[in-house]
């Protein structure tokens, strides 16, 4: 009786803990910032019960400033408010060596203890397997389970089907496995590796295909898992593929083993992706995982896969490679004729099939394995002529610094302080000093100075407050670098983020007061000339357009180092200069071998305060006099007058369809947080397409130029200074598909014809975009509206939808109107 009482108390305690976890997870769904949780309810196979899947954004795991209710990557809890149970639990998210502070070797040496279990890293998709009290087998992918009709590839369903065949082959009743897992209160974690279902980087065909069991976790909030020996016993008992493993007792032996495998790029004469290492934290009770992934040849293989996909999408061979230039171009020479002559191969490739076969065809034709290519001296010589080891830092390495700031942040004062500290080897190029109409002159001038033997670092002084400006700098650098410096000179790019986005209100107050106090001592804003109102308007424009740094996505992921700064009330430039010097010295001592004293930094700072701008940059004509202008539009569009009607159609669509929580979340965010674009339009032709597009794009662009240049000059004569010039022509169009992902929402449209006042329904609408569309709303502030192009092409041509991309067909047959506009 006493035992039952103790058991009942323990059960009640567990239920209460899980209830508290669910409350914390529910609360996390309501936050709009760090640590947001996402929930989705799923039906189970073979029973009428439901489970709730919980997940977080990938970048929130492992961050020191984010505390998650549970770190499980894959968490399923029963849909029972009174007695919730953890039904299936994945591993706590773990990281690669040196990816986060807790996977740096020095941290691991101080904070972990052996034995270190080394398990081979399988290359497939995670499958979680558990059981209910009634013997129902529960099989989940990382975040999904049960029957679904909203995805084109159901990982949980396929994993379940394979598991059933595996159990049947050895005569094991699946109910027996389910009851055993439930009795143990654990989740079996396997990797489903099967090229007939989904291809990854490594090959799994025939006998190699299957469910590789590599972990068994307790169904509890804190992470606890079985040792690999017990996992292997369980795998053998139930017919799973056994995950290869070994064990070492100390860190030195572990490092020696991993370094040897990394040099050979293989394990037991086979290509492998890497290893997962399992150990304990210093308390000897808490389980801790980290991974050791081999960079090569998998980086090369992934590059081949991505350039193939890009070629299929764009039919363009213009790629910029950081590594493997020579061999990747050889690969393209081989595969492009195959892709051009067989649309079926292209279609299958975009669906994830034929990737390995195409790669192997090339390797067979070339007569070498991937490992042999990487180690063949002649190819290494050719690669050296075609690429640079971007990880190498030595006495020949040069540096560029790109700030991310707004007016009044102190970037110029900071840059001049740094230059004054290292007057012989550092230089500053100010964008405001560039008077050429060639915008890339900023980078050309920077590289020209950086090419001087004595110069080690150039500060490229521009605000770069928008993503497109940061991308522009990296694009120019890629394009122009070898015009100024030898191919074997490496350039490291350091970013200076002058403030975090959450400080924007404080920044607004500080920078405005600084600029107004500065008066005319600024190249861009002359308060006495512009007046306070216009000066504030210019500054607020920068602040409103500011897009914060997101190191997880391009272009900000391209920085080799990012230094995050703060704007202080007083002497922030002095403080920031000192902080920048310390951070660069720590990471790149080749650039700053010795730290300067505080007195030296202060002296350099005081000298920077004496700086007076000699060139005045103006934002527009201040005297109102017209000057000779050329017709240089940025793009032509069809501006939609009745924006409300489009929004109503989206509302109707939203109400007509049943959607899962993941899909519904994007549309809910659109309406609840009013993420709609302020105006709706269909882009017909953009200046980039006119300059760098196909022959057809250039023809369409030039046609619009000829069509509307007279209208433009007439409006100039009338004193019209508007950036949007409306024409008398009306475009008729229909709504076809609403498509969205976590970043953006768009509508694919069908263009019908143009109507004007002289010739009703006179001509077909010409559009440079392959898929005409309307950008409806941006859900992620770091996403550019032009991302709609990529999304709409994927939906229309590849039919990519499901887990991350969603699509609904409009049922309306109504025709809508838009007015053609010239956007200057």
Helix intervals (H) in 485-571 = 504-518, 527-545
Q: Are 25 and 86 in contact (CB under 8 A)?
A: no
DSSP-derived 3-state class of residue 205: coil
Torsion sign over Cα 575, 578, 580, 582: negative
Per DSSP, the three-state class of 798 is: helix
273 DSSP assignment: -
The one-character DSSP state at 595 is P
CB 813, CB 739: distance < 8 Å: no
766 DSSP 8-state letter: P
Q: What is the DSSP letter of 673?
A: T
Burial class for 268, CB neighbours closer than 10 Å (0-12, 13-18, 19+): exposed
User: In angstroms, rounded to a whole number, what is the distance separating the alpha carbons of residues 636 and 705?
Assistant: 9
The answer to whether residue 241 is catalytic is no
Place of tokens 């997101």: 550
User: Closest Cα partner for 152 from 747, 740, 809, 799?
Assistant: 799
- The CA distance from 354 to 377, in Å, is 30
Q: Which residue has the tokens 């306070």?
A: 532
Q: Count the residues in the chain.
A: 824
Q: Which of 541-550 are b and which e, b meaning 16 or more Cβ less than 10 Å from the residue's Cβ?
A: ebbeebbbbb
Integer-rounded Cα radius of gyration of the chain: 30
- CA-to-CA distance for 750 and 737, rounded, in angstroms? 10
Q: Please, where are the H alpha helices in 387-463? A: 411-421, 441-450
Contact 189, 91 (CB under 8 A): yes
Decide: 76 and 86 in contact? Cβ < 8 Å.
yes
Per DSSP bridges, beta strands 724-740 and 816-823 are antiparallel
Phi and psi of 385, rounded to 5°?
A: -75, -15
The residues near 567 (Cβ < 8 Å, ≥ 6 apart) are 409, 410, 498, 499, 503, 506, 507, 510, 511
**Does residue 40 come out as left (phi exceeding 0), alpha (psi in the -120 to 50 range) or beta?**
beta
> How would you classify the pairing of strands 561-564 and 491-497?
parallel
Place of tokens 């934290």: 281
SS3 214: strand
Nearest to 88 by CA among 12, 23, 20, 156: 156
Catalytic residue among 39, 55, 93, 121: 121
**DSSP assigned state of 796:** I
401's CB contacts (< 8 A; 6+ apart) are 415, 418, 457, 458, 459, 460, 493, 494, 495, 496
Cα angle at 199 between 194 and 204, to 5 degrees? 40
How far is 197 from 162, CA to CA, in rounded Å?
10
How many CA atoms lie within 13 Å of 622's alpha carbon, on the beta-carbon side?
14
List active site positions: 121
């Amino acid at each position: 009786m006493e035992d039952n009482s103790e058991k009942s108390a323990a059960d009640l305690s567990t239920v209460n803990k899980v209830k508290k976890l669910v409350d914390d997870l529910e609360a996390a769904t309501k936050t709009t910032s760090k640590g947001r949780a996402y929930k989705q309810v799923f039906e189970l196979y073979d029973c009428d019960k439901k489970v709730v899947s919980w997940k977080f954004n990938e970048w929130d795991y492992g961050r020191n400033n984010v505390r998650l209710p549970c770190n499980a990557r894959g968490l399923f809890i029963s849909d029972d408010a009174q007695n919730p149970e953890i039904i299936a639990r994945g591993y706590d998210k773990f990281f690669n060596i040196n990816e986060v502070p807790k996977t740096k070797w020095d941290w691991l040496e101080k904070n972990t203890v052996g034995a270190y279990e080394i398990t081979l890293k399988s290359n497939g998709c995670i499958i979680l397997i558990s059981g209910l009290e009634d013997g129902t087998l529960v099989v989940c992918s990382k975040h999904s389970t049960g029957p679904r009709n909203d995805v084109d590839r159901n990982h949980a369903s396929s994993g379940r089907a394979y598991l059933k065949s595996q159990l049947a082959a050895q005569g094991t009743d699946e109910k027996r496995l389910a009851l055993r897992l439930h009795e143990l209160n654990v989740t079996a974690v396997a990797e489903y590796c099967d090229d007939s279902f989904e291809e990854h980087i490594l090959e799994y065909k025939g006998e190699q295909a299957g469910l590789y069991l590599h972990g068994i976790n307790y169904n509890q909030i804190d992470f606890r898992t079985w040792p690999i020996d017990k996992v292997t016993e369980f795998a053998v008992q139930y017919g799973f593929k056994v995950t290869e493993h070994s064990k070492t007792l100390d860190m030195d032996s572990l490092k020696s083993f991993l370094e040897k495998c990394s040099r050979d790029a293989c394990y037991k004469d086979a290509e492998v992706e890497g290893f997962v290492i399992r150990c304990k934290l210093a308390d000897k009770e808490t389980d801790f995982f980290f991974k050791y992934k081999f960079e090569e040849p998998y980086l090369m293989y992934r590059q081949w896969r991505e350039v193939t996909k890009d070629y299929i999408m764009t039919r363009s061979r213009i790629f910029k490679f950081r590594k493997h230039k020579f061999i990747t171009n050889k690969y393209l020479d081989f595969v492009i004729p195959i892709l051009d002559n067989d649309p079926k191969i292209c279609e299958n490739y975009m669906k994830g099939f034929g990737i390995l076969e195409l790669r192997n065809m090339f390797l067979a034709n070339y007569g070498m394995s991937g490992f042999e290519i990487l180690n063949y001296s002649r190819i290494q010589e050719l690669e050296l002529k075609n690429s640079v080891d971007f990880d190498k830092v030595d006495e020949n390495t040069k540096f560029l610094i790109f700030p991310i700031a707004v007016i009044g942040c102190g970037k110029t004062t900071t840059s001049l302080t740094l230059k004054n500290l290292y007057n012989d080897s550092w230089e500053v190029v100010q964008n405001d000093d560039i008077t050429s109409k060639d915008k890339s002159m900023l980078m050309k001038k920077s590289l020209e100075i950086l090419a001087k033997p004595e110069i080690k670092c150039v500060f490229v002084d521009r605000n770069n407050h928008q993503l497109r400006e940061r991308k522009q700098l990296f694009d120019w650098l890629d394009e122009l670098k070898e015009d100024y410096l030898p191919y074997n000179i490496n350039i490291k790019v350091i970013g200076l983020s002058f403030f975090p986005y959450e400080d924007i209100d404080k920044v607004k107050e500080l920078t405005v007061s600084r600029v107004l106090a500065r008066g005319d001592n600024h190249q861009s804003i002359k308060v006495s000339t512009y007046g306070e109102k216009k000066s504030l308007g210019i500054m607020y424009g920068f602040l409103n357009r500011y897009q914060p740094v997101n190191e997880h996505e391009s272009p900000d992921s391209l920085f080799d180092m990012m230094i995050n700064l703060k704007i202080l009330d007083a002497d922030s430039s002095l403080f920031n200069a000192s902080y920048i010097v310390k951070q660069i010295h720590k990471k790149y001592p080749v650039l700053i071998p010795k730290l300067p004293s505080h007195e030296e930094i202060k002296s350099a700072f005081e000298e920077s305060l004496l700086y007076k701008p000699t060139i005045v940059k103006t934002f527009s004509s201040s005297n109102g006099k017209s000057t000779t202008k050329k017709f240089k539009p940025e793009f032509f569009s069809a501006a939609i007058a009745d924006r409300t009607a489009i929004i109503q159609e989206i509302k109707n669509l939203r109400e007509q369809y049943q959607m899962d929580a993941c899909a519904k979340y994007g549309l809910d965010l659109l309406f609840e947080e009013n993420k709609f674009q302020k105006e709706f339009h269909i882009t017909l032709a953009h200046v980039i397409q006119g300059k760098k597009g196909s022959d057809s794009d250039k023809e369409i662009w030039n046609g619009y130029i000829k069509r509307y240049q007279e209208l433009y000059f007439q409006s100039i004569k009338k004193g019209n200074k508007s950036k949007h010039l409306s024409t008398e022509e009306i475009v008729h169009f229909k709504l076809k598909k609403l498509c969205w992902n976590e970043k953006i929402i768009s509508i694919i449209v069908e263009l019908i014809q143009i109507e004007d006042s002289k010739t009703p329904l006179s001509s077909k609408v010409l559009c440079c975009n392959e898929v005409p569309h309307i950008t409806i709303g941006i859900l992620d502030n770091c996403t550019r509206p032009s991302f709609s192009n990529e999304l709409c092409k994927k939906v229309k041509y590849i039919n990519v939808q499901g887990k991350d991309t969603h699509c609904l067909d409009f049922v309306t047959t109504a025709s809508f109107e838009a007015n053609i506009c010239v956007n200057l």
